[in-house]
Every structure is written in structure tokens, then in C-alpha cells.
């Protein structure tokens, strides 16, 4: 029988990887996969990361920008936060704007000093790739046709193509960190998974602009014509979004139309106009909410976008991916150090508790700030009244700020995971507090 942990005992040359077995095979070199590999390596656990795209493509994919305090702390504590601390910008508040007026949510004041950091996702990726390769870690880029096998039995393995050769790698565990369109989740039989999905009736048109910042803090704006968001990447590059039809085409949006629409949605005075800059990137994203349950199938563990998608209004996707792999890494470390699988068994429940809390927060922000074409006047009034209540209530602002900056890791956000854990305790309740959140 194979004993988890004897990865080094079977190694062969002349493959995409120099070995035939590893402890953890990680599919996907996004934030989830790379961070998991990094956390495991720090604990002396071996992994191989498989990525279907090239290193250059992975490092150039433009996506998220907002890092929660929790994510920032983890990057710093594990030695990959140095460039982020130098180049990222810390924001202690955000603005919610509606009816042409701004209302500041004082994130740090409301959360005991916590804040967000603006630092692009592809920079996080670059830092993690450099850390893994610098430490001798294995990331196989450009792998094709990857499939995962026998994760319901005790001998899982992955099969993949490098150039024109088919290779296999045996492992103890597989981490499916291959994003929403990846192969891992789809490999689980339909009957073994439940998927919850809501496709929102709008998209975000995103642009990158060469210009100095438009505001000191992010602006989330609600307008009758639709939502818009002012964000930033650096002193010279700004990130702006506006709500659009998800089926729209970027070609329908010449620069003049984008500026005019942003001016209309964001203005607080009749003559207000954003300073223009060169728009060098345009794209449309469909808004989607998605969760698969459970997040574990035998020795296959899903993490990040492979298991859940949130609309970006709450800026949670990357942060949830990092939170998942922290829980998973801790559980794997426990497995390899003490031999106990208890934490691996609880991985799905613990991760899902945070995921559903983030889904609810992202939905709250999305529903409060977007235009819904099918809303009747009463529903429009309700939406406005809710925004006004947030603007007027310190309690509601605190709730928003706590979720936005992110709860500390290890804090189970709802009773769901705790109940799931307690259910497994002996009937007399003995030891029911043995696994505190």
C-alpha cells in the first residue's frame, strides 16, 4: 500500500517533471495553485503545479486589484509580500456614491485599523512564480490535455501532455485550482456534486487608462444608467468599470462613448468631467455567482474559482481563493505531520462557510449598486432607501467594512461549518468544543 509522504522514493527522469510521484499535484498556476504550492513548500511538502498556459500569459493576465488585509498579512508572513509592500497602495476607506453625492466608508476606523491594498493580481502571480522557482519548485507551464484520475481511490494521478508526449504523475492528493473553466470540477460525476449558479443580467465593461488617479479611494457609484467603479493600479495607470449588457461588444464602445458614460454616471457637479487619458485595454466580463458543494471528492480538493465565482462588486474572488488554500494547506500539513485526516475531512465545510458569507456580501453590494432593467419604481425606491440607510448608519457601514477588508482567517464566518463539525461529534457531545473555529 502506498504511504502518503514517500514522494521521493519513486523518481524517474525524462518526463515533463523529473519525478513520477509527488505528494500534492496542483492543477492551475493562478493565485490559488501558486499560493498552495508556496505554503506547502514552506512546510517541506512537495508539490508539482500544472498550468495549461505559458508563463508569459499567466503573468500578464489582468484581473483583480483589491487585496484584503487577510491576504496581505499572509503574503507578508510567508515572505512574498516585499514588492507588494513597496508598490501597492493602502486604502483606508472607499466611497459609495449615489444621487450625485459621495459617502465615505471609513474602513480602517470601523474595523480596528484593517485596510485594503491595491496591488494587481498579475503582480501577485509574478511574486509567487518567482518565489516557487527560486526555491526549486516545479511549475510545468504549457501542459495540454490534463486529466485527473482515481481520486476516489487511494492512488490518484494526473495525466497530461508536454509537447507531444503523454506523461502521468502519481500523487497523494490533487488540488483542483484550475479556475471556473478548468478540468477538475468537471471530472467529478454529476451525482456527487451540487452546483448553485446565478447568472446576473449585466456585465462590467473594464478599461485601463494611462492617467493620474481620479480619486484617493475607490468609488462605487450607483446611477439610473447603471453602476460604475473607479479603481487604480498605480500613479500612472487607472482601472475603471461600467455596468453594461453582458452580450455587448467592445467595438460598440469607442473612447468618446466610454468617457461620456463615465462622466454621466460619476458626476457630483453639473460641469464635472473626468480627465482623459489613453485607454489601452478594454474588456467585458459577465457577472456570475456560482458554488459547488462539496469542495472535496476523495483525494481531490477544489479551491478558488474552480469551486466558486462571485461577482466582482465585493472584490472577493482572489481573496477567497487565497483563504481556501490556506485552510487546505494547514489541513495537508496536519496530515503529513501527525497523520490525522480530520482537518482534510473538514476542509469543505470550513471553506464553504467563508464562501457563502462572501457570496452573500458580493450579492448585497451587487444588488445595492447596479441598475436592474426589470425593477419597478417601488423596487428602485427600495434600492435607494437601502443605500441611504448605509450612508446614515454606522452599524451598516461597519458590517460592510468588516466584510470588505476580510475577516481574519480561521474565523468561521457563520454557524454552518461549526454545525457541520459538531454533527460529527459523539452523540453525548463529548469533545464538542475540541475543534474551535
Supply the residues annotated as catalytic: 91, 220, 312, 316, 404
Nearest-angstrom CA–CA distance, 383 and 373: 13
| Cβ proximity to ligand RFL, 27 vs 387, nearer residue | 27
Which residues of the chain form contacts with ligand PHB (CB under 6 A)?
Answer: 64-66, 218, 229, 231, 239, 312-313, 315
Nearest-angstrom CA–CA distance, 346 and 437: 11
Considering only residues 203 to 232 of the shown chain, the ones binding ligand RFL according to CB under 6 A are 204, 206
Stretch of residues binding ligand RFL (CB under 6 A), selected from 29-37, 250-258, 272-280, 329-337: 29-37
Among 16, 176, 312, 406, binds ligand RFL (CB under 6 A): 312
Cell of 436: 474551535
Among 88, 179, 203, 277, binds ligand RFL (CB under 6 A): 179
* Binding partner of residue 27 among ligand RFL, ligand PHB, none, CB cut-off 5 to 8 Å per kind: ligand RFL
Contact 291, 355 (CB under 8 A): yes
Among 7, 183, 244, 350, binds ligand RFL (CB under 6 A): 183
Closest separation between CB of residue 239 and ligand RFL, Å? Answer: 9
Closest separation between CB of residue 315 and ligand PHB, Å? Answer: 4
31 touching ligand RFL, by CB under 6 A: yes
| Cβ proximity to ligand RFL, 326 vs 421, nearer residue | 326
Considering only residues 46 to 75 of the shown chain, the ones binding ligand RFL according to CB under 6 A are 50-53, 58, 63-66
Query: Cβ-count burial of 194 within 10 angstroms (0-12 exposed, 13-18 middle, 19+ buried)?
Result: exposed
* Binding partner of residue 316 among ligand RFL, ligand PHB, none, CB cut-off 5 to 8 Å per kind: ligand RFL
How far CA 132 is from CA of 76, 87, 119, 182, in Å, comes to: 15, 21, 20, 22
| Contact characters 262-301, ligand RFL, x per CB under 6 A | -----------------------x----------------
Closest separation between CB of residue 64 and ligand PHB, Å? Answer: 6
* Binding partner of residue 313 among ligand RFL, ligand PHB, none, CB cut-off 5 to 8 Å per kind: ligand PHB
What is the binding site for ligand RFL (CB under 6 A)? Answer: 27-33, 50-53, 58, 63-66, 121, 143, 146, 177-179, 182-183, 204, 206, 285, 304-305, 312, 315-319, 321
Amino acid at each position: 500500500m502506498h504511504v502518503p509522504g514517500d514522494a521521493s522514493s519513486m523518481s524517474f527522469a525524462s518526463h515533463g517533471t523529473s519525478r513520477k510521484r509527488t505528494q500534492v499535484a496542483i492543477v492551475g498556476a493562478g493565485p490559488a495553485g501558486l499560493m498552495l504550492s508556496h505554503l506547502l513548500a514552506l512546510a517541506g511538502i512537495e508539490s508539482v503545479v500544472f498550468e495549461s498556459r505559458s508563463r508569459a500569459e499567466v503573468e500578464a493576465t489582468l484581473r483583480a486589484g483589491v487585496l484584503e488585509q487577510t491576504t496581505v498579512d499572509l503574503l507578508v508572513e510567508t515572505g512574498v509580500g516585499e514588492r507588494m509592500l513597496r508598490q501597492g497602495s493602502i486604502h483606508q476607506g472607499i466611497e459609495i456614491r449615489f444621487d450625485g453625492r459621495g459617502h465615505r466608508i471609513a474602513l480602517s476606523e470601523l474595523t480596528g485599523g484593517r485596510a485594503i491594498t491595491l496591488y494587481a493580481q498579475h503582480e501577485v502571480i509574478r511574486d509567487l512564480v518567482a518565489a516557487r522557482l527560486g526555491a526549486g519548485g516545479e511549475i510545468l507551464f504549457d501542459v495540454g490535455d490534463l486529466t485527473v484520475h482515481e481520486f476516489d481511490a487511494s492512488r490518484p494521478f494526473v495525466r497530461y501532455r508536454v509537447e507531444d508526449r503523454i506523461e502521468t504523475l502519481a500523487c497523494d492528493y490533487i488540488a483542483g485550482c484550475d479556475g471556473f473553466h478548468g478540468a477538475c470540477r468537471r471530472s467529478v460525476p454529476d451525482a456527487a456534486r451540487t452546483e448553485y449558479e446565478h447568472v446576473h443580467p449585466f456585465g462590467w465593461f473594464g478599461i485601463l487608462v494611462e492617467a493620474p488617479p481620479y480619486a484617493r479611494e475607490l468609488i462605487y457609484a450607483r446611477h439610473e444608467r447603471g453602476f460604475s467603479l473607479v479603481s487604480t493600479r498605480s500613479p500612472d495607470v487607472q482601472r475603471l468599470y461600467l455596468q453594461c449588457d453582458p452580450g455587448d461588444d467592445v467595438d460598440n464602445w469607442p473612447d468618446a462613448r466610454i468617457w461620456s458614460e463615465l462622466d454621466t454616471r460619476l458626476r457630483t457637479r453639473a460641469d464635472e468631467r473626468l480627465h482623459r487619458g489613453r485607454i489601452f485595454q478594454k474588456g467585458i466580463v459577465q457577472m456570475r455567482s456560482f458554488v459547488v458543494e462539496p469542495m472535496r471528492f476523495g483525494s481531490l480538493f477544489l479551491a478558488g474559482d474552480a469551486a466558486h465565482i462571485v461577482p466582482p462588486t465585493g472584490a472577493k474572488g482572489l481573496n477567497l481563493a487565497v483563504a481556501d488554500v490556506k485552510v487546505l494547506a494547514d489541513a495537508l500539513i496536519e496530515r503529513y505531520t501527525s497523520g490525522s485526516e480530520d482537518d482534510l475531512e473538514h476542509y469543505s465545510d470550513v471553506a464553504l462557510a467563508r464562501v457563502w458569507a462572501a457570496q452573500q456580501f458580493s450579492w448585497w453590494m451587487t444588488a445595492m449598486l447596479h441598475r436592474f432593467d426589470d425593477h419597478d419604481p417601488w423596487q428602485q425606491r427600495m434600492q435607494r432607501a437601502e443605500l441611504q440607510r448605509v450612508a446614515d448608519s454606522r452599524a451598516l457601514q461597519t458590517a460592510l467594512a468588516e466584510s470588505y477588508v476580510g475577516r481574519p482567517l480561521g474565523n468561521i464566518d457563520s454557524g454552518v461549518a461549526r454545525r457541520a463539525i459538531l454533527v460529527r461529534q459523539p452523540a453525548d457531545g463529548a469533545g464538542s468544543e475540541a475543534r474551535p473555529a
